[in-house]
């Protein structure tokens, strides 16, 4: 049995069919990891990555806008009326079918998943015997997936959360080699939808290294090439707005020796020394992090690396200096707010007065810092937002970039379950569900008028953006100060 794994990306390129000269981006870690695992179990597996041109991306957006956002089935029918989009779907489908797979797995996330559904629907119409399996972060809980299975009869199975064991069990079930419940899944079988909530988790040291061989020529042809790797899974935090903990369930990590082996493997097989560790956070276990960094230095691996990080006052100057020596070039901090009240409401487990000294220590060690913030969290007040703005003014010169975004309700987060937001009860095109808060009303959103839903300022790449960021902050601050309403005049949210 042959298995094909597929991933789509949106771009602003002119053509869907050719990757521009000099193109450099990280190959998809998810399907590379899944391929390695499946092949280690003696199942033939290949991967496809497709890049949607700006034109096709716009066509999809236009098609979506013509339909209700909850009517994906209507959108699937509408695509047939657009000749260019239809040609692209035929092209992708032919490429996917070249190796005659029996099972096609689609990795879904945010804006790529609509095209995945379009192609999956087309393939199922073309070859009803194909098994279509979906996975990835797009659909993070079983209740949501059950609605998906009802809406889209062309999907045969969805593996929810960690995919290796469930996907392998599903393939074995098709061969008659497995008859038990399939880990964390919803399966279509004989007209019935079968749900299994139990997830069997893998031990990270038991996993084979990701197999990027299908992408080597495309992605790893330059000395500047970067590979995405995962050294841990899950998160130690329990932030109410985040779905990571519900997706991965527990925090696990590769042993330090296995990390070194992985990095050496990536260099010897692919010539890569530059890595984006795409973990939920790199500092979930400080003893582990110190041991990994020490071994990288001792082995003289001479790598560069980037990762997400949480504000942790226990990370002193000595540890941060060690991270810098191990090749850490940039850390992305999920700060979210400088208001202690808001941080407590988020259950961040962070003391606001520790944030600025932490950023200062990273800056002093020569590590680029890119903190991220959100405005409009439920029950956040104008006063809370102003505290964050004043903080941003103080740290802007210490940062290599800053991201600010309008708070949106994530699927499968604990906060979503608390609010039981109606917009998330059905299948929806748009996962960014924005809600009214105490001072940002959707009908006249001050934040969006200045920053858009997300404002990202890359100070290193565009030095002039630092001044623009300061001016935008001032405009936002003035707008908040001029507002006539306060959070006390609105009905409090039930958070």
pLDDT in tens, 87-102: 888 889 999 999 899 9
Distance CA 439, CA 381 (A): 6
Distance CA 101, CA 416 (A): 38
Please tell me the pTM assigned to this model. Answer: 0.88
Biggest distance spanned by C-alpha atoms of the chain? 68
Label the pairing between strands 131-135 and 157-159. Answer: parallel
Q: Name the band, by pLDDT with cuts 50, 70 and 90, for residue 305.
A: very high
Please determine, for residue 13, whether its predicted confidence score (pLDDT) is greater than 80.
Answer: no
Q: Name the band, by pLDDT with cuts 50, 70 and 90, for residue 435.
A: low
Mean pLDDT of 242-255: 86
Mean pLDDT of 132-146: 78
Would you list the domain boundaries of the chain?
2-196, 226-489
Please determine, for residue 233, whether its predicted confidence score (pLDDT) is greater than 90.
Answer: yes
Q: What is the pLDDT of residue 22?
A: 39
In the predicted model, what is the mean pLDDT of the chain?
A: 85
The CATH H-level (homologous superfamily) assignment of domain 226-489 is tm_1862 like domain (3.80.30.20)
Q: What is the pLDDT of residue 275?
A: 96
Whether 241 and 410 have beta carbons less than 8 Å apart is answered as yes
Length in residues, the chain: 495
Q: In Å, how far from its chain's centre is CA 313?
A: 26
Q: Name the band, by pLDDT with cuts 50, 70 and 90, for residue 433.
A: low
First to last CA, the chain: 49
* Residue 70 DSSP one-character state: T
Distance CA 45, CA 36 (A): 8
Please determine, for residue 480, whether its predicted confidence score (pLDDT) is greater than 70.
Answer: yes
Q: Name the band, by pLDDT with cuts 50, 70 and 90, for residue 294.
A: very high
Q: Name the band, by pLDDT with cuts 50, 70 and 90, for residue 7.
A: very high
Q: Name the band, by pLDDT with cuts 50, 70 and 90, for residue 416.
A: confident
**394 compared with 153, residue with greater pLDDT:** 394
134-138, 323-327, 416-420: which range is least confident on average? 416-420
Structure tokens belonging to residue 488: 């006390």
The residue to which tokens 């990555």 are assigned: 49
Whether 240 and 191 have beta carbons less than 8 Å apart is answered as no
Q: What is the pLDDT of residue 246?
A: 76
Structure tokens belonging to residue 448: 């969006």
Mean pLDDT of 160-170: 93
Q: What is the pLDDT of residue 387?
A: 97
Whether 7 and 112 have beta carbons less than 8 Å apart is answered as yes
DSSP string of 270-308, one letter each residue: H---EEEE--S-S-SSHHHHHHHHHHHHHTT---EEEEE
Q: Name the band, by pLDDT with cuts 50, 70 and 90, for residue 488.
A: very low
Q: What is the pLDDT of residue 24?
A: 43
Mean pLDDT of 356-381: 96
**224 compared with 21, residue with greater pLDDT:** 224
Q: Degrees (nearest 5) of the Cα angle 348, 160, 8?
A: 95
CA 372 vs CA 35, 201, 398: distances in Å: 33, 30, 14
54-63, 276-285, 462-471: which range is least confident on average? 54-63
Instruction: Express as a percent the part of the chain with pLDDT over 70.
Output: 83
Distance CA 124, CA 118 (A): 10
Whether 50 and 16 have beta carbons less than 8 Å apart is answered as yes
Helices (H) and strands (E) in the chain, counts: 18, 18
- Please state which architecture CATH assigns to domain 2-196: 3-Layer(aba) Sandwich (3.40)
Q: What is the pLDDT of residue 430?
A: 46
pLDDT in tens, 438-461: 677 766 688 989 998 889 999 999
27-31, 276-280, 420-424: which range is least confident on average? 420-424
pLDDT in tens, 20-75: 443 446 888 999 999 999 999 999 999 988 877 767 777 766 665 555 444 656 66
Distance CA 164, CA 161 (A): 9
Please determine, for residue 485, whether its predicted confidence score (pLDDT) is greater than 50.
Answer: no
Please determine, for residue 76, whether its predicted confidence score (pLDDT) is greater than 70.
Answer: no
Judge if 2-196 and 226-489 fold alike in CATH terms: no
Label the pairing between strands 44-52 and 2-10. Answer: parallel
27-31, 192-196, 427-431: which range is least confident on average? 427-431
**423 compared with 42, residue with greater pLDDT:** 42
> Would you tell me the crossing angle of helices 465-482 and 382-395 to the nearest 10 degrees?
160
């Amino acid at each position: 049995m042959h298995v094909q794994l597929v991933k789509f990306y949106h771009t602003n390129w002119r053509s869907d069919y050719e990757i521009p000269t000099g193109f450099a981006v990280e190959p998809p870690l998810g399907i590379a990891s899944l391929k390695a695992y499946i092949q280690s179990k003696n199942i033939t597996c290949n991967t496809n990555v497709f890049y949607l041109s700006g034109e096709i991306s716009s066509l999809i957006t236009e098609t979506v806008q013509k339909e209700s956002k909850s009517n994906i089935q209507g959108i699937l029918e509408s695509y047939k009326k657009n000749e260019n989009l239809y040609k692209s779907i035929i092209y992708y489908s032919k490429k996917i079918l070249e190796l005659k797979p029996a099972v096609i797995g689609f990795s879904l996330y945010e804006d790529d998943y609509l095209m995945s559904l379009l192609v999956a629907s087309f393939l199922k119409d073309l070859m009803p015997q194909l098994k279509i399996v979906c996975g990835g972060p797009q659909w993070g809980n079983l209740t949501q997936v059950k609605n998906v299975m009802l809406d889209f009869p062309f999907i045969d199975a969805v593996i929810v959360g960690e995919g290796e064991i469930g996907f392998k069990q599903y393939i074995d079930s098709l061969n008659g080699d497995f008859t038990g419940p399939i880990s964390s899944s919803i399966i279509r079988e004989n007209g019935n939808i079968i749900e299994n909530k139990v997830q069997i988790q893998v031990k990270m040291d038991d996993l084979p290294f990701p197999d990027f061989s299908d992408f080597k020529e495309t992605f790893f042809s330059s000395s500047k090439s970067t590979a995405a790797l995962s050294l841990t899974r899950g998160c130690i935090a329990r932030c109410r707005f985040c779905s990571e903990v519900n997706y991965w369930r527990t925090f696990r990590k590769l042993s330090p020796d296995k990390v070194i082996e992985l990095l050496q493997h990536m260099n010897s097989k692919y010539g890569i020394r530059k890595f984006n560790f795409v973990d939920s956070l790199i500092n979930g276990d400080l003893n582990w992090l110190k041991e990994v960094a020490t071994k990288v230095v001792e082995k003289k691996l001479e790598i560069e690396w980037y990762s997400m990080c949480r504000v942790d006052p226990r990370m002193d100057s000595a540890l941060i200096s060690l991270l810098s020596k191990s090749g850490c070039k940039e850390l992305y901090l999920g700060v979210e707010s400088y208001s202690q009240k808001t941080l407590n409401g988020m259950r961040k487990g962070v003391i606001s007065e520790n944030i600025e000294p932490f950023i200062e220590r990273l800056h002093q060690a020569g590590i680029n810092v890119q903190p991220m913030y959100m405005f409009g969290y439920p029950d956040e007040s104008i006063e809370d937002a102003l505290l964050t703005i004043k903080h941003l003014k103080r740290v802007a010169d210490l940062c290599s970039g800053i991201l600010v975004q309008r708070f949106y309700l994530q699927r499968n987060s604990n906060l979503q379950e608390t609010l039981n937001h109606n917009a998330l009860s059905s299948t929806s095109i748009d996962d960014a569900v924005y809600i009214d808060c105490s001072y940002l009303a959707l009908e006249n959103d001050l934040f969006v008028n200045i920053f858009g839903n997300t404002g990202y300022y890359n100070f290193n790449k565009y030095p002039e953006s630092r001044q623009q960021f300061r001016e935008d902050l001032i405009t936002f601050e003035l707008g908040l100060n001029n507002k006539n309403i306060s959070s006390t005049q609105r009905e409090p949210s039930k958070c």
